[in-house]
């Protein structure tokens, strides 16, 4: 059989040359901006020559995460690391009709603002794209000391957030050339990626760049009252090299993590957005800013039923609790419930209520999915294989226990349908329950209870 010609997309950014991949077309590793170390991003000018887009975006340089490796294996197989990482990748159905504008999902990966990349294999959107007829954009941005810790005397804060804003500007300018509808852009994020999206809702210059957001497991309970910690961590990091080997910057991240320990739960995620630094309002103005944004952005926000069991299984401190005679299992359940509420679920509830009271449309969801034989239960990240990835990328991870991929895929099909419908219309036929998988409910200004028990 003859090989299909490489797809060419004639966009304002230039002519992008992608590739066919079964039921989808991919255009990967497209540069949306450049940035010198510790400097704001500068939009990439239009290219004169064709832009080859057949290699994945490089990951931002980052220190290895041993605990994450235990759970998810070699996440970065096939990827390289490069400070020149401000790239994005586009995936669309191969059989898209010329008159078919597609809703656009922009993926912002998680990883506590220190790990991850847009093109990890576990985030492969092919099934979601082909099945639900959406266009998917995965963004890679700066992390850790390169993107999410700053001070008046050192690198500016929020550089990674500025990267994301620049990527969204690229999407608005160019996505129609790939078949996407720039008026139907939905941001989809997990964990710190969802936290970043929540803050993009109120970031200067971001109004109008997206219409909807899907916030999975955003650690919004850690977002407030970080000023003293940020100052202490910036001091601990010390002067950082403006040029030279990036390993010299990464070596300081361990110092920052150790300095964060005295700040309790917040110190568990020492890197993040900083209020009062461009492009974010002061902390005292955040609630008003989110309320002002509410009528302009539809929100789907939620968590898993046992968020912090993800960390409880891996963290040696939790395992010591588990070994307490007679009471260990009960104590662990209490710790998981309390920490999940403090970091994720209570703040999501408050976010949803404020959004509804300010005139916004908002739905809350609870992921109940517990793969058979998995010690993690309905833990942080268990929702990801329901939406993204393939059997090859998830089969070796203990997060899914003994569950067969076909079971995961079929459970996910219903979730993918609901999420794609939200991207198209801003609505979910709520309340809706997929037994053992998901519960979704519309939040009204007077909602007092969530039947998902959280």
Contact 188, 105 (CB under 8 A): yes
Instruction: Identify the CA nearest to 51 among candidates 92, 102, 6, 91.
Output: 6
Burial of 238 (0-12, 13-18, 19+ CB in 10 A): exposed
Q: State the catalytic residue, choosing from 191, 192, 217, 339.
A: 191
84 φ, ψ to 5°? Answer: -80, 65
Q: Would you call 407 a catalytic residue per the annotation?
A: no
Q: Is 6 left (phi over 0), alpha (psi -120 to 50) or beta?
A: beta
Length, in residues, of the chain: 454
Q: Would you call 191 a catalytic residue per the annotation?
A: yes
Angle at 338 between CA 335 and CA 342, to 5 degrees: 135
Q: State the catalytic residue, choosing from 44, 166, 307, 332.
A: 307
What would the 3-class secondary structure string for 43-74 be?
A: ECCCCCCCEECECCCCECCCCCCHHHHHHHCC
Q: Would you call 339 a catalytic residue per the annotation?
A: no
Contact 387, 122 (CB under 8 A): no
- Rounded-to-integer distance, Cα 327 and Cα 374, Å: 22
Burial of 245 (0-12, 13-18, 19+ CB in 10 A): exposed
Q: State the catalytic residue, choosing from 109, 216, 257, 380.
A: 380
- Rounded-to-integer distance, Cα 313 and Cα 325, Å: 18
Query: Is the Cα torsion angle 209, 212, 217, 219 positive or negative in sign?
Result: positive
Give the active site residues: 191, 307, 380
């Amino acid at each position: 059989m003859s090989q299909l010609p490489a797809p060419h997309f004639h966009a304002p950014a230039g002519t992008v040359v992608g590739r066919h991949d079964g039921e989808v077309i991919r255009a990967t590793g497209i540069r949306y901006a450049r940035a010198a170390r510790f400097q704001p991003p500068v939009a990439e000018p239009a290219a004169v020559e064709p832009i080859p887009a057949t290699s994945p975006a490089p990951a931002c340089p980052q220190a290895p995460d041993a605990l994450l490796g235990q759970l998810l294996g070699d996440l970065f197989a096939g990827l390289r690391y490069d400070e020149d990482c401000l790239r994005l990748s586009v995936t669309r159905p191969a059989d898209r009709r010329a008159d078919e504008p597609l809703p656009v999902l922009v993926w912002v990966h998680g990883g506590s603002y220190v790990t991850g990349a847009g093109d990890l294999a576990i985030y492969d959107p092919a099934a979601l794209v082909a099945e639900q007829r959406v266009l998917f954009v995965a963004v890679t941005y700066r992390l850790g000391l390169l993107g999410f810790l700053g001070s008046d005397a050192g690198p500016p804060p929020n550089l990674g957030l500025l990267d994301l804003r620049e990527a969204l500007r690229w999407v608005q300018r160019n996505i129609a050339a790939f078949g996407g509808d720039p008026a139907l852009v939905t941001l989809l994020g997990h964990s710190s990626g969802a936290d970043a999206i929540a803050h993009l809702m109120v970031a200067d210059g971001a109004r109008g760049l997206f219409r909807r957001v899907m916030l999975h497991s955003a650690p919004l309970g850690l977002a407030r009252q970080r000023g003293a910690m940020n100052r202490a961590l910036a001091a601990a990091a010390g002067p950082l090299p403006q040029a030279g080997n990036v390993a010299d910057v990464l070596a300081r991240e361990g110092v920052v993590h150790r300095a964060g320990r005295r700040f309790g739960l917040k110190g568990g995620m020492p890197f993040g957005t900083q209020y009062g630094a461009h492009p974010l309002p002061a902390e005292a103005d955040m609630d008003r800013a989110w309320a002002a944004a509410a009528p302009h952005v539809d929100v789907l926000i939620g968590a898993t039923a046992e968020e912090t069991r993800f960390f409880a299984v891996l963290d040696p401190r939790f395992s010591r609790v588990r070994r307490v005679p007679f009471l260990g299992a009960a104590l662990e359940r209490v710790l998981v419930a309390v920490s999940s509420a403090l970091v994720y679920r209570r703040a999501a509830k408050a976010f949803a209520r404020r959004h509804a009271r300010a005139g916004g449309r908002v739905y809350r969801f609870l992921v109940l999915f517990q793969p058979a034989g998995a010690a993690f239960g309905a833990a942080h990240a268990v929702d990801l294989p329901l939406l993204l990835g393939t059997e090859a990328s998830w089969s070796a991870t203990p997060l899914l226990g003994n569950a067969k991929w076909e079971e995961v895929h079929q459970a996910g099909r219903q979730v993918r349908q609901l999420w794609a419908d939200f991207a198209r219309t801003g609505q979910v036929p709520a309340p809706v329950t997929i037994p053992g998988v998901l519960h979704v409910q519309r939040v009204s200004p007077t909602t007092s209870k969530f039947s998902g028990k959280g």
